[in-house]
């Protein structure tokens, strides 16, 4: 309806009063709804209007103004069994910023952009938010119209860009243990700690189900700690713990598995600290159960590698020159003899072997052994505090 038509309608109110209700036969608007309530509907309602209010905001941030739209809608049944809907064209609005404790802070519009009508129906103003700490806030609008006063809330999270790091006290836990975790949150701009920043811990089991969701703000230096006791029947596998604050999130993973001690162990060593050229190195070992009883007939496998100044003969590593298998005796012991060290040994070389022992049941344990091959029986090194080092005497 144009402004001119509305004026014509208003001029004909006295002549069209029928039974206490304003109505028009030739125009598609209910005059009583418009004049009394500011609602433009094509037919008069068969009952009272019910009001709902709406709120929309764009680009709001601390210290910077953004547009806020507020409107009111009215609904009522009509005589035809339908529902009439229309915007309320008259009224005022107020805005508030509500913190987590429920404290309301009025948000007056900018003087240059006070409340005004958009398309003659929605109220619009530009509002700047105060410099408040990071957190989850609520933008509240209070709308007063001829139909009454109502409020509407909209979530308004205010968080500065941040970086989060999460870690656990260890990577492996047993069902029944307590998982301890910690996070640190830093401002993305300058990596300064964000003390008091709100956040939420979430722990997920291997199936992805959230088993813990707990709000926990960052403390001094942006650090926040938490814990979670694992049930003795906790699912085994890879778990995830995360801390979320606004759009910033980080997570850490940990494994939950029952701890089982090996049935037996393998102890391997060399009877001498080093071996020189012309000597025959030896390796001695024993496989015993956790009770101390020997494991007879266990198969022992060795995988060799070397490091150092002198390269061993090629046949030692590729031709099977170094012993690779052994079998324990009744005392659980085994002994291996290596080839004689060549006379061209220079410097120091270390031979290391990964040792695997298997018992008759097929269970296996791992160990290792290291042998030093040395050209000299005595090694000397000098240490000095002089800047230029030691100087030969003349």
**In the chain, where the domains are located:** 3-158, 162-256, 264-374
170 or 61: which leads in pLDDT: 170
Phi, psi torsion values for 354, nearest 5 degrees: -85, 125
**Per-residue model confidence (pLDDT) at position 390:** 58
1.10.10.10, 3.40.1390.10, 2.60.40.1930, 3.30.300.30: CATH of 162-256: 2.60.40.1930
The string of pLDDT tens digits covering residues 31-71 is 888 888 888 888 889 889 999 999 988 878 888 888 999 99
Looking at the predicted structure, is the pLDDT value of residue 393 above 60?
Answer: no
Q: How far is CA 389 from CA 379, 380, 381, 386, 394, in A?
A: 19, 16, 13, 5, 16
For 8, the 3-state DSSP assignment is helix
| Size of the chain in residues | 394
Q: Distance between CA 110 and CA 122 in Å, rounded?
A: 17
Lowest mean pLDDT among 25-29, 126-130, 290-294: 25-29
Nearest to 165, CA basis, from 119, 124, 137, 199: 199
When comparing pLDDT for 212 and 389, which is higher? 212
Q: Would you state the CATH architecture of domain 264-374?
A: Sandwich (2.60)
Predicted local confidence at residue 288, as pLDDT: 94
Question: What per-residue confidence (pLDDT) applies to 24?
Answer: 41
The dihedral of CA 164, 169, 173, 175: what is its sign? negative
CA distance 69 to 116: 10
DSSP 122-165: EEEEEEEB----SEEEEEEEEEEETTEEEEEEEEEEE---EEEE
pLDDT at 348: 92
Q: Do 3-158 and 162-256 agree at the fold level? A: yes
On whether the 3-158 domain is CATH 2.60.40.10, my answer is yes
Give per-residue pLDDT as tens, 69-106. 999 999 999 888 888 888 888 888 999 999 888 899 99
Joined together, the tokens standing for residue 60 give: 């709001």
pLDDT band at 1; cut points 50, 70, 90: very low
The DSSP output letter for 61 is B
- pLDDT tens for each residue of 302-359: 999 999 989 999 888 776 789 999 999 999 999 999 999 999 999 999 999 999 999 9
**pLDDT(294) > 90:** yes
> Per-residue pLDDT for 9 more than 70?
no
**CB proximity list for 264: less than 8 A, separation 6 or greater:** 287, 288, 289, 290, 295, 298, 357, 359, 363, 365
């Amino acid at each position: 309806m144009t402004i001119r038509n509305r004026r014509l309608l208003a001029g004909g109110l006295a002549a069209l009063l029928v039974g206490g209700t304003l109505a028009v036969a030739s125009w598609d608007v209910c005059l009583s709804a418009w004049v009394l309530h500011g609602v433009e509907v094509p037919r008069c309602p068969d009952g009272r209007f019910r009001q709902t209010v709406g709120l929309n905001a764009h680009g709001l941030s601390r210290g910077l103004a953004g547009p806020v739209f507020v409107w009111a809608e009215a609904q009522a049944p009509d005589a035809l069994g339908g529902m009439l809907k229309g915007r309320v064209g008259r009224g005022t609005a107020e805005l508030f910023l509500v913190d987590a404790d429920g404290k309301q802070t009025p948000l007056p519009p900018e003087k240059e952009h006070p409340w005004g009508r958009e398309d003659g129906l929605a109220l619009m103003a530009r509002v700047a938010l105060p410099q408040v700490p990071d957190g989850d806030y609520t933008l509240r609008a209070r709308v007063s119209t001829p139909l009454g006063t109502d409020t509407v809330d909209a979530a308004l999270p205010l968080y500065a860009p941040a970086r989060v790091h999460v870690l656990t006290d260890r990577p492996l836990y047993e069902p029944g243990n307590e998982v301890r975790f910690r996070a640190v949150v830093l401002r993305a701009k300058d990596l300064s700690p964000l003390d008091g920043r709100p956040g939420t811990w979430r722990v997920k089991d291997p199936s992805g189900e959230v088993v813990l969701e707990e709000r926990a703000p960052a403390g001094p230096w942006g650090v926040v700690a938490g814990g979670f006791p694992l049930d003795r029947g906790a699912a085994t596998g890879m778990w995830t713990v995360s801390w979320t604050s606004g759009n910033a999130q980080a997570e850490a993973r940990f494994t939950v598995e029952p701890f089982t001690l090996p049935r037996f162990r393998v102890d391997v060593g060399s009877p001498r600290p080093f071996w020189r050229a012309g000597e025959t190195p030896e390796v001695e070992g024993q496989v015993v159960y956790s009770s101390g009883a020997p494991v007879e007939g266990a198969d022992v496998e060795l995988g060799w590698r070397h490091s150092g100044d002198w390269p061993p003969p090629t046949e030692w590593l590729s031709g099977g020159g170094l012993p690779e298998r052994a079998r324990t005796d009744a005392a659980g012991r085994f002994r291996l003899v290596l080839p004689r060290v060549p006379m061209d040994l220079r410097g120091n070389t270390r031979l290391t072997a990964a040792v695997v022992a298997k018992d008759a049941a097929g269970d296996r344990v791992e160990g290792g052994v290291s042998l030093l091959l040395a050209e000299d029986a005595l090694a000397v090194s000098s240490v000095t505090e002089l800047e230029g080092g030691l100087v030969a005497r003349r």
